[in-house]
Structure 1
Amino acid sequence: MSDPRNPTKVPTIIKGSLDRKNIFLVPKKIYSIKEDLGPLIHMIEKAEDAASIEKHIVYAGKKQKCIDIWELLTAACKSTTRGTVRTFHADMSRKAKDDILQGFRDGRIRIIVATVAFGIGIDFPDVKGVVAYGMPSTIGQLYQQIGRAGRRGDPAHAVLFFNKADNTTHGPMKDIYKADCPRKAILNHLGQEAPDLHERCCSVHNTEDQDCIFTADTSEGTENNTKRRRPRPKRRQDTDNEDRLEAELLMLRDEWCEQRPELLLIGPCGIMSDDTVERIKTDCHTIHTSEDLKMVKCITGMSEHYL
């Protein structure tokens, strides 16, 4: 900070810590929207009114992904909580955006599913959690998304969902998910030394944080019977290739929707469900022709045009 009255004076540098100690970081691998966001669904299902739903922001990379997540969360709402989940993206009118921001501010809206359009200048002090569903393009963008939570200093959480295929897409970002401590990796990338570990650092060091719905140990289960999938045993095949195949299938599914607007009525999962993508990935070593592909369970209903 320079003194305009004395421009030759050596400026004073004020440097603060970028570590938000009140935000608990939870890195997770993507499986399916319904499974991954099960804790949010369960919270919505239990809520009797809007105030019972803790404020969350869910970031997704594409507008269609936002719509898919919004549909899933909205389906869990009761009549008393209808309208508490909204989407936010660049294609919305200024008035629609302002209405959503005001609703989030006054508490009528509790969960916003957004693209990066919900960005700089957005400041709500009472956001309990942020979900980054998919890797942002930069670590700086990820840090900004994380920073939307717990701005009053209250305990908050940020859940960082990733796919292994992301590692080949965004170079520096893979360090976050491969690191022993995501907080340390983020701060180091931003040019700061990570402080000593503290109790609410991340789920790598503390697997059950009772303030975080994504790690808290609950015995009551979910109404939609969502169960955590057991990790598959490691196989000798090249799993990196399988993950790349999964990423390509999901991208192809999104491209179909973008190229044919009428498909937006059924959404990407109506063309090729997450279960179908998983089945193709699992059986990929036996698929050599389109006829082989038709034999895969769950794919027989797909149009010849797509096969």
Structure 2
Amino acid sequence: MPISDVTTVLRQYFGYESLYPYQEEIIRALTDGEDVLGVIATGGGKSLCYQIPALISGGMTVVISPLIALMKDQVDTLRECGVPAACITSLQDYRERRETEEAIYHGDLRILYVSPERAVKTEFFSLLKKAHVTLIAVDEAHCISQWGHEFRPEYREISRLIREFSHAPVVALTATATPAVQNDIIAQLHLRHPHRVTGSFYRKNLRYEVRPKKDTKGAILSYLRNHQGQAGIIYCLSRKGVEELSNTLRRTGIRALPYHAGLTRKAREEAQEAFVRDRVQVIVATVAFGMGIDKPDVRFVIHHDLPRSPEHYYQETGRAGRDGDPADCILFYSAGDLHRHAFFIQQESSVARQRAEYTKLEEMATYCEEHRCRQAMILQYFGEETPVGGCGTCDICRSPRERFDGTAVAQMAITCVRDLTVPCGSSHLIDLLRGANTKKIREMGQKETPGYGAGKAYSKDEWRSFIRELIRLGYLERESGVYPVLTVGETGRELLAAGETVEGVFLTRMKKTPNIRQEKPTDPLFIRLKTLRREIADREGIAPYMIFSDVTLREMVNSRPLTDAAFLAIRGVGATKLNRFGPEFMAALIPTEKEGDNSAAETLRLYRAGCTMAEIAEKRSLTPDICGAHLAEAIENGENVEIDDLISPHRQAAIREAVAQEGTHDLRRLKTVLGERFTYTDIRLTCAVDRQNNPK
């Protein structure tokens, strides 16, 4: 396969000039007929690895994907790029299903997405036999392994499809797979001497941080106030936690919605759609949310509670910064989270599964409590070499701890563990060392223990840190299980015998939280392009990022392309998008007399000053639709905007009736129902007021 073919396809459809090295390696292997296992970080371009071979092959690629919402988003994105793609899901009506089947029969599709459940049905096999299948792609392939973090038994059946179409090469793709999980994927899918490609797990643009779980809601509110207008996800362990936090955020004026398995399917779909279309700033969710989104401009992922494994944590934080711009990953941690997870693990029926889960949970505790570069610990877990000198962006690298001679600390802890007649865990040992007067200590008569109160100069958090470090260095050992007890390790016995020197980490030398990063004021032209993007997205019934990413918009701001050739040179602009969106964006890039005033706030100011929409549009050299989008944005940001002068009450009532009848705020669908008498601005503003009055 000539590399020129790949470059042509890449440029024409996706607007990129070059591939990452591992993408090229995977594409070459697949076009040579080899099976491939690809482990590539979230945001690293896994989809292109099968999309480009699909466009080159002349046949049809079958993509097995776990979530309907994710399939739909990817199909919509591909179609916006001019790629013939479709999906078959349980939500389609007869007409949509029939159109897709006809496209398969006539060889008009290049990429077909299906769920694992549908992929193994006999009738689906019959349908595929009428097509020229040239490639099978298994996305989120870690779901096939019981040692992975999102095991789905139905994935085990995919091997039937692979056997049925054995002439087609197979690519299994995942963002999170340890070596053991990788081997299990190969075995379960029966991959034939697969070419293994492992991209780096290192996400340079992600800024990892662990904070103590103290006034967590207050800390989250403070963070959001300093990052207004940025999209993000907040994960909570329980449905109750999701509801409480999302309600708190809405009461303070933050556009937030809950997402968890206890909501109706319709409510979850509406919340997800509102998020990907930039109608809400924050989704507060359980782990039920995430796999179904492909939103590239998520600027933060906050974990209110501890994830149960490094795979879960890496997968969830990987949803931040997929566009390559900086993003924050903040985890609030307390030891109490460990006990809650341990309780759930204990419910597992398989002892082997329990042990595996305890090991993963212990790795998460290590990540939170040790004072090494966060990125380095993540990379080490997945078997990758760590960056020399650390990442430079995580909280540990930004505020390094001061190392000190910890011999006395080590001796206190080791001696106390050695002298106990009944083994104990970390929490009880810390109570003993700090001289606590707990019921358990009184009942066991342990106030006379030689080490009792010897370490009261240090806080609980400091002792937790010291014990973690002593375990890592081998001075103490901890058994696995729900209530792991401590014993003295071989190195610890040597220390007591020889009195050798040991170093620890002194936690209190660092600031409690790193300095808050203030966001730079956003370029008004960038705001103008984002507003235009949203106006077009609402009109077309798609998510804004499917038109152009923030990265692409920023490049437009920097280079100001005003010709087709210059616009096509922007990364992320292909031929199809140039034809569809180029004229409107190039018109918006033409400088105005008062470019510094171009914002929703300026449109709102003029409107409140008594200007009509036509007058505002003329003053600002914008279209009335863009000005309407500005006012809708102001309304959704909490501004009180009276729209009766723009849209009569009876017209608003008609729009609300259509919303109730259709059960959606999708502008294109509502416009079709309401007809030409209503403009997109009429519908957009009425819906914005309704969403402000009723966020759910």
Cα distance between partner residues in 1 of 2:335 and 2:291: 28
**Map of 1:187 onto structure 2:** 379
Aligned equivalent of 1:15, options 198, 211, 214: 198
Q: How does 1:75-154 map to 2 (within 5 A)?
A: 75-77=251-253, 84-154=255-325
Residue 67 (structure 1) shift:
1.4
Give the secondary structure class of the aligned counterpart of 2:322. Answer: coil
Give the secondary structure class of the aligned counterpart of 1:165. Answer: helix
Alpha-carbon distance change, 195 to 75 in structure 1, aligned in 2, over 3 angstroms: same
TM-score normalized by structure 1? 0.60
Alpha-carbon distance change, 23 to 197 in structure 1, aligned in 2, over 3 angstroms: farther
Aligned equivalent of 2:332, options 152, 155, 161: 161
Partner amino acid, structure 2, of 1:145: E
Residue 200 (structure 1) shift:
4.6
Cα distance between partner residues in 2 of 1:148 and 1:9: 31
Cα distance between partner residues in 1 of 2:277 and 2:392: 29
Residue 86 (structure 1) shift:
0.5
Is residue 41–residue 73 contact of structure 1 (8 Å, CA) maintained in 2?
Answer: no
Question: Are 2:250 and 1:71 equivalent residues in the alignment?
Answer: no
Q: Which has the higher contact order (CA 8 A, sep 6+)?
A: 1
Is residue 165–residue 240 contact of structure 1 (8 Å, CA) maintained in 2?
Answer: no
Cα distance between partner residues in 2 of 1:127 and 1:6: 36
Alpha-carbon distance change, 183 to 5 in structure 1, aligned in 2, over 3 angstroms: same
Alpha-carbon distance change, 104 to 9 in structure 1, aligned in 2, over 3 angstroms: closer
Residue identity (%): 27
Aligned equivalent of 2:427, options 225, 234, 240: 240
Partner amino acid, structure 2, of 1:171: E
Mean CA deviation greater in 130-139 or 187-196: 187-196
**Map of 2:448 onto structure 1:** none
Is residue 242–residue 258 contact of structure 2 (8 Å, CA) maintained in 1?
Answer: yes
Residue 38 (structure 1) shift:
3.6
Residue 11 (structure 1) shift:
4.0
**Map of 1:211 onto structure 2:** none
Give the secondary structure class of the aligned counterpart of 1:205. Answer: helix
Cα distance between partner residues in 2 of 1:32 and 1:9: 53
Partner amino acid, structure 1, of 2:368: Y
Is residue 55–residue 110 contact of structure 1 (8 Å, CA) maintained in 2?
Answer: yes
Residue 33 (structure 1) shift:
2.8
Cα distance between partner residues in 2 of 1:130 and 1:72: 18
Is residue 129–residue 149 contact of structure 1 (8 Å, CA) maintained in 2?
Answer: yes
Give the secondary structure class of the aligned counterpart of 2:294. Answer: coil
Give the secondary structure class of the aligned counterpart of 2:362. Answer: coil
**Map of 2:603 onto structure 1:** none
Aligned equivalent of 2:364, options 173, 189, 196: 173
Cα distance between partner residues in 2 of 1:114 and 1:142: 14
Aligned equivalent of 1:53, options 229, 232, 235: 229
Cα distance between partner residues in 2 of 1:54 and 1:6: 43
Partner amino acid, structure 1, of 2:234: V
1:254-277 deviation digits (Å, cap 9, x = unpaired) = xxxxxxxxxxxxxxxxxxxxxxxx
Alpha-carbon distance change, 243 to 18 in structure 1, aligned in 2, over 3 angstroms: same
Alpha-carbon distance change, 6 to 243 in structure 1, aligned in 2, over 3 angstroms: same
**Map of 1:201 onto structure 2:** 393
Alpha-carbon distance change, 105 to 167 in structure 1, aligned in 2, over 3 angstroms: closer
Alpha-carbon distance change, 241 to 196 in structure 1, aligned in 2, over 3 angstroms: same
Partner amino acid, structure 2, of 1:125: P
Give the secondary structure class of the aligned counterpart of 2:328. Answer: strand
Residue 71 (structure 1) shift:
2.0
Partner amino acid, structure 1, of 2:286: T
Which runs of 5 or more structure 2 residues have no equivalent in the other structure? Answer: 1-28, 36-165, 170-190, 343-360, 401-412, 414-424, 443-696
Cα distance between partner residues in 1 of 2:264 and 2:204: 36
**Map of 1:296 onto structure 2:** none
**Map of 2:222 onto structure 1:** 39
1:57-111 deviation digits (Å, cap 9, x = unpaired) = 000000111112112211210xxx6xx1111001112211111111111111110
Cα distance between partner residues in 2 of 1:6 and 1:109: 42
Question: How well do the aligned residues superpose, as a CA RMSD in angstroms?
Answer: 3.5
Partner amino acid, structure 1, of 2:427: D
Partner amino acid, structure 2, of 1:95: K
Structure (1/2) with the larger helix percentage: 2
Corresponding residue pairs, total: 212
Cα distance between partner residues in 1 of 2:437 and 2:269: 47
Give the secondary structure class of the aligned counterpart of 1:100. Answer: helix
TM-score normalized by structure 2? 0.28
Residue 165 (structure 1) shift:
3.2
Partner amino acid, structure 1, of 2:365: K
